[in-house]
Amino acid sequence: MNPNILQTPIDYLKGVGPGRAGLLRKELGIHTYQDLLNFFPNRYLDKTRFYKINELQRTSAEVQIVGKITHIKTVEQKRGKRLVADFVDDTGKMELVWFRGHKWIRENLKLNTPYVIFGKTNWFNGMFSMPHPEMEPVEEYKKQLRTAMQPVYPSTELLAKKGVSNRVVNKIMQQLFLETKGRFYDTLTEEIREKLKLIPKAEALFNVHFPKSQELLAKAQFRLKFEELFYIQLQLLIKNMLQKKRIKGYVFDQIGENFGRFYKDHLPFELTNAQKRVIKEIRSDLGSGAQMNRLLQGDVGSGKTIVALMSMFIALDNGFQACLMAPTEILAIQHYNGLVEFCQNLGTSIYLLTGSSKTSERREIHEKLENGEIDILIGTHALLEDKVQFKNLGLAIIDEQHRFGVAQRAKLWKKNHMPPHILVMTATPIPRTLAMSLYGDLDISVIDELPPGRKPIKTVHRYDSNRLKVFRFIKEEIEKGRQVYIVYPLIQESEKMDYKDLMDGYESIAREFPITQISIVHGQMKPADKDYEMDRFVRAETQIMVATTVIEVGVNVPNASVMVIESAERFGLSQLHQLRGRVGRGAEQSFCILMTGHKLSNDSKTRLQTMVQTNDGFEIAEVDLKLRGPGDLMGTQQSGVLNLKIADIVKDNEILKAARYHAMQVLKEDPDLALEKNKVLKYTYSQVIKHKNIWNYIS
């Protein structure tokens, strides 16, 4: 078939016309035959089976029955009337009910004629009934081109209002297959199809829209899901390969004085095996001659900072500078203080640059950067300003990547004639599956064990009715000299209400703890006041910190041992996990108390249960992904990558792994897709790059 026919505007398909075409474009993004072909059903009605009336169960399932109407009557009710028909087969009797359209139905229904009816059943007054059934005389039913599994397509309110029903979409889909004769060229090699026993492309497309059976539908879906994920992985892997081939990196082959002395004499604790493994991966990247692009994942408190510092030492040992960029000033200052402490006897020159650095400091920093007197610069977005020029930046470390776009990473590259090595760190555990699809162009390292001596945080769920017990427990901890966080949710839409919740909470805590010093931090305070309050808590001048979620990122108070989260059901899982990570930073046993009301949705229950059962950020991220789906998890700026048409990153985890494996095998054997047998992959891939939307060419 001529592939160009698929680029025909949808207006030209018989049965569509300009009015409907406008609706399809606006509501569903369907512009061409191609778009329609790749508009997949989101569920199917199983019409493979006919039920007998005596087999019906009291679930409101959709069923299909063959029988006859023996009697019709009108029943008066409080508002208007309803039309009721007796419907029988050889096993029993049920009722069909209509609340509107009586006249038309009465005129058109034939008594004692075999009908196929389909709809949802209700159990009422000791009898089954079916409101507004779909009905068709058995004779007509036998003539239709139809499939036993009926597709149901995604729709919108406007489409339903304008009469573009599921039946209409189904009809135009039939028309599309008639006009194209259902001939679509294949987009995968014979080798892959044979290895995975995949059905041909044309057969898959036909069976996803008009499945003959459950079994064929499953094969069609598998084939299309595999293909979608395969091309995403191919794209990411090729990007990664090109980067390594095309983007040369500085070769750091010396492990010298800085690294060696620190490792031997100044390491404050024994590295975990995970930290050693990650440092080894980074060392091999830095010596490879290609630019490093690595994502370092590690749960809160797993010791990413020390890995970052040792990587920076490798840059210094090779005569280069390093920088570390953090998303907020508080976090940048904290990194700065931490690194200065680690390096106090090493003579490393470390400077801090943030939005609030004074002009005189800035001038000094700009000068010393350019003449190479500064080894390590730590800062916020301020590092990206054009004025900030390094003598020779060899390694850039970015903390909490998802807050910095790709464009910002690129700005760091421009600071040099050759791009620095890049290490991205995150404490937000990203499930393996999602990482493969979002950061497939970065190499991934994971620190998956906590330093020894850290006691796991004990997490409990308590209802509001146990509040007094919780207060008693807090008093005991404060008497032992510990500090406590009490966090209130912040949901932007109702700032006034949140503020009120926070203030009510603060007042009741002040009443309950009359002699205790309390800090309060919320979004409506001036930054300087916030910092002052935070600082009092850090210096242990106050014992309780009452706050909205501003403390989520990075405040380190080893003496704080209790985290109370109010209205915990209003937080997402990853947020709860991040907040919990604020305690448990010292040697003492720490606690996280999740407070909620009694009314909880199923999702909230799952979230709270997960928090109580596990401290493992990756396990939590997997549950979060199942509850929220991939789009939400990464925030909008990155969900665009995953605008999937048929595959589902969570449910199709196994298919994703297979797709990545096969994409890797192809590229290992034929990195340029130059072999004759990979011609079809090369062509399809070139189309992907051109159209960006994967499905615009895969047919």
pLDDT for position 349 = 94
Token pair for residue 94? 């049920």
Span 224-240, pLDDT tens digits: 999 999 998 898 888 88
CA distance 385 to 405: 15
Interval 136-195: pLDDT, tens: 898 888 776 566 678 889 888 888 888 888 889 999 999 999 998 888 889 999 999 999
Assess whether pLDDT exceeds 70 at residue 698.
no
What does residue 264 show for φ and ψ, rounded to 5 degrees?
Answer: -75, -45
Are 49-147 and 458-614 in the same CATH fold? no
Give the model's pLDDT for residue 634: 42
Q: Which CATH superfamily is domain 458-614 in?
A: P-loop containing nucleotide triphosphate hydrolases (3.40.50.300)
Strand ranges (E), 125-192: 127-131, 134-137, 149-152
Mean pLDDT of 459-483: 94
pLDDT attached to residue 453: 72
Q: For residues 178 and 441, what is the distance between their CA atoms, to the nearest angstrom?
A: 41
d(CA 455, CA 176): 63
Token pair belonging to 678:
């990979």
Q: Name the CATH topology of 49-147.
A: OB fold (Dihydrolipoamide Acetyltransferase, E2P) (2.40.50)
Could you tell me the residue ranges of all domains in the chain?
3-45+154-183, 49-147, 213-247+648-696, 257-286+302-426, 458-614
Cα–Cα dist 243/440, whole Å? 12
Instruction: Give tens-digit pLDDT for 507-533.
Output: 989 999 998 999 888 877 887 888 888
pLDDT for res 438: 65
Is 404 a residue whose pLDDT tops 90? no
Confidence of residue 691 (pLDDT cuts 50, 70, 90): low
Q: Residue 108 CA to chain centroid, in angstroms?
A: 51
User: What is the arithmetic mean of pLDDT over 39-61?
Assistant: 82
Name the pLDDT band for 423 (thresholds 50, 70, 90): very high
Residue 267 has pLDDT above 90, yes or no: no
Binning pLDDT at 50, 70 and 90, where does residue 636 land?
Answer: very low
Average confidence (pLDDT) over 74-81: 84
pLDDT at 641: 44
Over 80: is that where the pLDDT of 261 sits? Answer: yes
Cα–Cα distance for residue pair 339/158, rounded to 1 Å = 58
**Cβ atoms 594, 462 nearer than 8 A:** yes
- Cα–Cα distance list, 15 to 168, 172, 174, 209, 332 (Å): 9, 6, 10, 18, 62
CB-based contact 207:151 (threshold 8 Å): no
Band (665; pLDDT cuts 50, 70, 90): very high
CA dihedral (283, 287, 288, 290) positive or negative: positive
Asked if 411 and 419 touch (Cβ cutoff 8 Å), the reply is: no
Task: Return the percentage of the chain with pLDDT > 90, whole number.
Answer: 42
In this prediction, residue 635 carries a pLDDT of 41
Q: Residue 385's pLDDT is what? A: 84
> What's the CATH code, domain 257-286+302-426?
3.40.50.300
**pTM of model > 0.95:** no
Structure confidence at residue 214 (pLDDT): 76
504 near 546, Cβ under 8 Å? no
Look at residue 694 and tell me whether its pLDDT is greater than 70.
no
| pLDDT (0 to 100) of residue 677 | 93
- State yes or no: pLDDT of 77 exceeds 90: no
Instruction: Work out the average pLDDT over 551-561.
Output: 71
Q: Is the confidence at residue 496, as pLDDT, over 80? A: no
477 has pLDDT over 90: yes
Contact 85, 132 (CB under 8 A): no
* pLDDT class of 115 with cuts at 50, 70, 90: very high
Find the distance separating the first CA and the last CA of the chain, reported in whole Å: 10
More confident residue, 132 or 501: 132
CB 116 within 8 A of CB 51: no
Higher pLDDT, 586 or 320: 320
What's the token pair of residue 340? 């200065």
Which segments within 299-349 are labelled E, that is strand?
321-325
**What is the arithmetic mean of pLDDT over 287-314?**
89
- Condensed to tens digits (0 to 9), the pLDDT of residues 526-553 reads 878 888 888 899 889 999 999 886 554 4
Pick the closest to residue 590 from 600, 580, 602, 604 (CA basis). 580
